[in-house]
Amino acid sequence: MTDLPAPHRRSRGERLRAKFAKAPYSARFGMVMLSLYIITALFAPVLAPYGEAEVIGKAFEPWSATHLLGTDQLGRDMAARIIYAARNSMGIAFLATVLSFVTGGLFGIVSALLGGWADQVLSRLVDALMAIPGLIFALMALSLFGPTVVNLIIIIAAIDATRVFRLTRAVALGVVSQDFVEAARLRGEGTLWIVTREILPHTLPPLITEFGLRYCFVFLTISALSFLGVGLQPPMADWGSMVRQNATLITYGNVTPLLPAAAIALLTVSVNFVVDWLLQITGGGRDGR
């Protein structure tokens, strides 16, 4: 009996590969596009033909061999700025989302674990903050503190952390009542140990898919703020502000200003396709938003 060869169990890598092979076309498309975006963001200085703020011609030059997508309202190369904007827009949204997950997630788990008045105070505070629409809150805060990159990241992260808090707390509440948490408590483990070693691993799967959705949301909010002129400030290239600054061209039937907007749309569509698929294979039932 002991001589029998063990049945072949597929390794984690093999199982993942099998899942990828069965992924629908929308998800594969999303993954390919996402990789392209990340490569563009990482290697922007190598890929871009000119500098981010380099004025290399007259304003609004048409598409040509030297300037693939023409020039913008100040005579900077449009293609180069679109490439640099990948780095700025995606990077800042990524930082804000990470920050919001670290703070919102931590507070959510601790709140669920502690319960009692601490949980009540935190939950009521978050409810109140969530009663104000995110974009409005961001506009209000930016008008007070001024639109710098650091302020933008902190404000957006704070707004988004309230949403993350809600979800993490809800998920963690289910985990907190499990026996193994009780066992860890009785063993005399500290709160930090319980949070990081017992609760966090069990709340991670739903949080990872949520990360994709929140990233889209944060990214769109920052683009919207930049579009409104209160997000990333010049000369930093950003897809949202590029659309606004070159919008006059649209009334002449020129599609160039729509390209940065299309870049935003394509990225969020790709992320959504991938998240949709992840939700399906992890069995999450989130339809709609």
Partner 1 sequence: MSQSEATSRRPRSAAGLIAATVARRLGHGAFTLFVVSLVIFSLMSLMPGDFAKSILGQAATPETVAAFQREVGLDVPPVQRYVAWVGNVAHGDFGNSFVTSGAKKRAVADIIAPRLKNTMFLALITAALAVPLALGLGILTALKRNSFFDRAVNALTLTTISMPEFFMAYLLLMLFSTKLHWLPGLATVDAGDPFLEKLRRCTLPALTLTLVIVAHIMRMTRAAILNVLDDPYMEMARFKGITRARMVLRHALPNAWAPIANVVAFNLAYLIVGVVIVEVVFAYPGIGQLMVDAVSTRDIPVVQACSLIFAGVYVLLNLAADIASILSNPRLLFPR
Residue 139: both structure tokens together: 């506009």
> 66, 96, 90, 59: which is closest to 80 by C-alpha?
66
* Footprint of partner 1 on 63-92 (CB under 8 A): none
* Footprint of partner 1 on 199-258 (CB under 8 A): 216, 220, 223-224, 227-230, 240, 243-244, 247, 250-253, 255, 257-258
The interface mask with partner 1, positions 144-183, x = CB under 8 A, is: xx--------------------------------------
> 256, 258, 222, 13: which is closest to 134 by C-alpha?
222
Number of residues in contact with partner 1 under rule CB under 8 A: 51
For partner 1, the closer of residues 176 and 242 by Cβ is 242
- Is residue 217 within 8 Å of residue 267, measured between CB atoms? no
Closest contact distance (angstroms) between CB of 124 and partner 1 is 8
Could you check whether the bond before residue 235 is cis, i.e. omega within 30 degrees of 0?
yes
Residue 240: both structure tokens together: 């949202």
Burial of 282 (0-12, 13-18, 19+ CB in 10 A): exposed
Half-sphere exposure of 10 (CA within 13 A, CB side): 8
Residue 12 makes contact with partner 1 by CB under 8 A: no
Residue 78: both structure tokens together: 């449009």
Four-CA torsion 188, 193, 195, 201, nearest 10 degrees = -120
Closest contact distance (angstroms) between CB of 170 and partner 1 is 17
For partner 1, the closer of residues 3 and 287 by Cβ is 287
Residue 207: both structure tokens together: 């949080």
Closest contact distance (angstroms) between CB of 152 and partner 1 is 13
Closest contact distance (angstroms) between CB of 54 and partner 1 is 26
Closest contact distance (angstroms) between CB of 141 and partner 1 is 7
Q: Which residues contact 189 (CB under 8 A, 6 or more apart)?
A: 197, 198
Closest contact distance (angstroms) between CB of 201 and partner 1 is 29
The interface mask with partner 1, positions 118-147, x = CB under 8 A, is: ------x--xxx-xxxxxxx-xxxxxxx--
For partner 1, the closer of residues 194 and 232 by Cβ is 232
Q: Which residues contact 250 (CB under 8 A, 6 or more apart)?
A: 257, 258
Closest contact distance (angstroms) between CB of 69 and partner 1 is 16
Closest contact distance (angstroms) between CB of 93 and partner 1 is 12
For partner 1, the closer of residues 203 and 241 by Cβ is 241
For partner 1, the closer of residues 15 and 124 by Cβ is 124
Q: Which residues contact 99 (CB under 8 A, 6 or more apart)?
A: 153, 154, 157, 161
- Residues within the interface to partner 1 (CB under 8 A): 26, 124, 127-129, 131-137, 139-145, 216, 220, 223-224, 227-230, 240, 243-244, 247, 250-253, 255, 257-258, 261-262, 264-265, 268-269, 271-273, 276, 287-289
